Structure 1
Amino acid sequence: MSSQQPQSQSHSYSHLLPPSWRSKITSWLQEDCPSFDWGGYVVGEDDKKATLWCKSEGILAGVPFFDEVFKQLDCTVEWHYSEGDHLKSTDGRKIKVAVATVKGPARKILLGERVALNTLARCSGIATASRMFLNKAREAGFKGIVAGTRKTTPGFRDVEKYGMLVGGVDMHRYDLSSMVMLKDNHIWSTGSVKKAVAAARSACGFSLRIDVEVQSHEEAVEAIEAGADIVMLDNMEGDQLISCANKLKQDLSADNKVGGYKFLIESSGGIDLDNVAAGGHVDGAIDIISTSSIHQSTKHVDFSLKIEPSS
C-alpha cells in the first residue's frame, strides 16, 4: 500500500509493525519502573477509569503503541476517535477533547501512564508535522512524493516512522538495509560516483534501488549513466535546482530520449515548512522531496491521562 494513500477498513498501518515492537514496549516499561513502584503502593489495585485528554491541536497517531502499553498491564482502552483524525477545538476555545478511556487497576494505569503518553505525544506530533508539510507542498502544486528521512531517534524509529505514515508522507528508506543510499562519504571513499554505484549494484543485485547524493549536474549525469535509480540533488534550491532537474530529465530521461535512462530526481537538504513552497523545490521535474523537519525538533501533541476521582 502506498504510504500516501489513506487507510481502509481492511488495511491498518498497525499491520506493518514487526514482531519486535511489543518487546520494545516491555523494555520501556521496565526502564520506567526498574525497582519499587512507590506510587503504585499508594493507590493499590482498585479498579479505576481514566480519561485520555488531548489538550493541543493535532493528528492522532500511535494508537497501537498506546494500546500495547496497557495490554501488557492488564488494562483496556476504548477509543472515541480513530487514528489519523484531526483533533481540534470545535468552538474556538482552548482544546480539550476526550480521546479515549482506560480501565484497570489504579496502579497499573499509572504504571503505563508516562510511557503511553510520551509515545502517543511524539507519534502524533510527527503525524501532525507530516500532514502540515504535505499540505503545504500540495498547495504549492507539488504532485510528487514527500518523504521523511532516517534521522530518527535510536530505539524509537518504529514510532517515528509510523507517525510519518499516519501523517500521509512516505517513510523513505527505513534503515541501511532498505535501500542503497550512496552519500558524499561513500563517493569520496570509493573514488568516484561510477565506482561506488558499480560496487553497490554488484552486491545488492536487482531487488534494491540505488539512490546517489550528488553535489553538481556533472555528478548527477555520472550517477545516472552508471545506473543509479534516484539522484538526490543535495542542498540545491531555487533556479539552480530547477535548472539542473529539468536539464537531467530533458537530456537523459527515457521519457524524452530514445535509449535514455529511467531515474527519479530527489530534492533534499534544509527543506522545511517555511521554504518548501518559496525555496524553489516545487517543479514537475522533481519526483521526491525529502525532509527531516517533520520528525526532528517537532512539537509534540499535548495529552494527559486523568483518573476519575472516587465517588
Structure 2
Amino acid sequence: MYTHEIESFLEEDLGYNDISCKLVPDHYVEAIIFTKGDCTLAGLDVAISFFDYFGMDYFTNHSNGDRISKNDVIFTLKGSSLSILRVERLVLNFLGHLCGIATNTSRCVDVVRSHSSDTRVACTRKTTPGIRKYEKMAVIAGGGDPHRFNLTDSVMIKDNHVRMMGVEAAIKSAKEKAGFTQKIEVEVESSADALVAAKAGADIIMLDNMEPDDIIKTVDLLKRSSIPEHIMIEISGGINMDNLEEYAKTGVDVISMGSLIHKSQWIDVSLEIVENQEI
C-alpha cells in the first residue's frame, strides 16, 4: 500500500479533531488481533502497511491464504497506545472485509475442485470502487483467479458490443486495435454465437447466463467443430454457492462469479489490549 493511500484512509477515519484516542495517557502497550470465526486469511500485507506507517512492532506466524479457526491470534502488536487506537478500526475493517472474500472464495474453490481439478474460479469487476486491487488480492488468497484488474488487461467484447457491432465485426476490430499480449474474450448467449466467436478468432469464449445443460451442449458443439485448442471456455451469470455444484460439473475452463466479492460476509475480527506500561 502506498503512503498516500494510507494517509487518505486515515484522513477519512480520523478527521481533524480526534479526541477519543487522546482520552488516556499514551502508553506502551501490547495488543492482539484475533478472529471470532473460522476463516481464510487475506489482507495481512494491508495491515502491515498501517503498522509500519505508525512504527509499531508486530508479529504473525500466518500468511495470506492460511485457514484459521475461531479465536486464533492473527497479529501480536507492540507500540504506542495512541497509534494502536488510531489504526485499530481501519485494520479491522480491511481484515474483516478481505478475509470474508477469501473465505467465500475458498469455499467455492473447494466445491469446484471436488468435481474438476482444472477448472478455475474467478471473480469479476463487480468490486468496491477504490479498493478493487485489495478485493482481488483477497480472491487470490482464497485460491481464486482475479480475472481482469482493469479494462486494459484484456479485451472483453460484452453483450452491448455485440448488439451494436455483431460478433464477427467486434472481434475483427479488437484484433486490429489490441496489442499482441492482450487476449480477446467474447461474451455470448447462444451456441451459434459461441461457434461464430471461435471461428472469428476469439481467445476466450464466455457463455453468459446459460443453464448447465445448455453449457454442456455448447461445449460439445465447439469440440465437434474442431475449434483451436488454445480457446478457453468461461461461464458466468447468476452463479453462486447454491447452484455452483451443477455448473462445476460442466467441466469448463473458468467459472467467473461476481458473488465471490459482493456476496461475501465480513469476518468478525477484534483487537484487545493485553498489557500496558506508561511511557
What is the TM-score when the length of structure 1 is the normalising length? 0.85
SS at match of 2:108: helix
The answer as to 2:177 corresponding to 1:203 is yes
SS at match of 1:174: coil
Q: How does 1:115-264 map to 2 (within 5 A)?
A: 115-141=90-116, 143-189=118-164, 191-255=165-229, 262-264=230-232
The answer as to 2:54 corresponding to 1:73 is yes
* Root mean square deviation, CA, Å: 1.6
In structure 2, the residue matched to 1:290 is 256
Contact map agreement 1:173 1:179 (CA 8 A) in 2? yes
The answer as to 2:19 corresponding to 1:24 is no
Give ranges in structure 2 of 5+ residues lacking alignment.
none
Contact map agreement 1:142 1:283 (CA 8 A) in 2? no
SS at match of 1:186: helix
Contact map agreement 2:29 2:80 (CA 8 A) in 1? yes
| Match among 93, 98, 102 for residue 73 of structure 2 | 98
Displacement, 1:77? 1.5
In structure 2, the residue matched to 1:300 is 266
In structure 1, how many angstroms separate the alpha carbons of the residues matched to 2:180 and 2:82?
53
Displacement, 1:51? 0.8
Displacement, 1:45? 2.4
The answer as to 2:237 corresponding to 1:269 is yes
* Deviation digits for residues 215-258 of structure 1 (CA, Å, limit 9, x no counterpart): 11111112112111011000112211100111112213235xxx
Give ranges in structure 1 of 5+ residues lacking alignment.
1-19, 89-94, 256-261
Displacement, 1:21? 4.1
Displacement, 1:143? 2.3
Contact map agreement 1:237 1:281 (CA 8 A) in 2? no
> Which fold has the larger relative contact order, with Cα–Cα distance below 8 Å and residues 6 or more apart in sequence?
2
Provide closer, same or farther for how the CA distance between residues 281 and 83 of structure 1 changes in structure 2, counting only shifts above 3 A: closer
Contact map agreement 2:99 2:267 (CA 8 A) in 1? yes
Contact map agreement 1:213 1:233 (CA 8 A) in 2? yes
One-letter code aligned to 2:232 = L
In structure 2, how many angstroms separate the alpha carbons of the residues matched to 1:298 and 1:26?
27
What is the TM-score when the length of structure 2 is the normalising length? 0.94
Displacement, 1:281? 4.3
In structure 2, the residue matched to 1:109 is 84
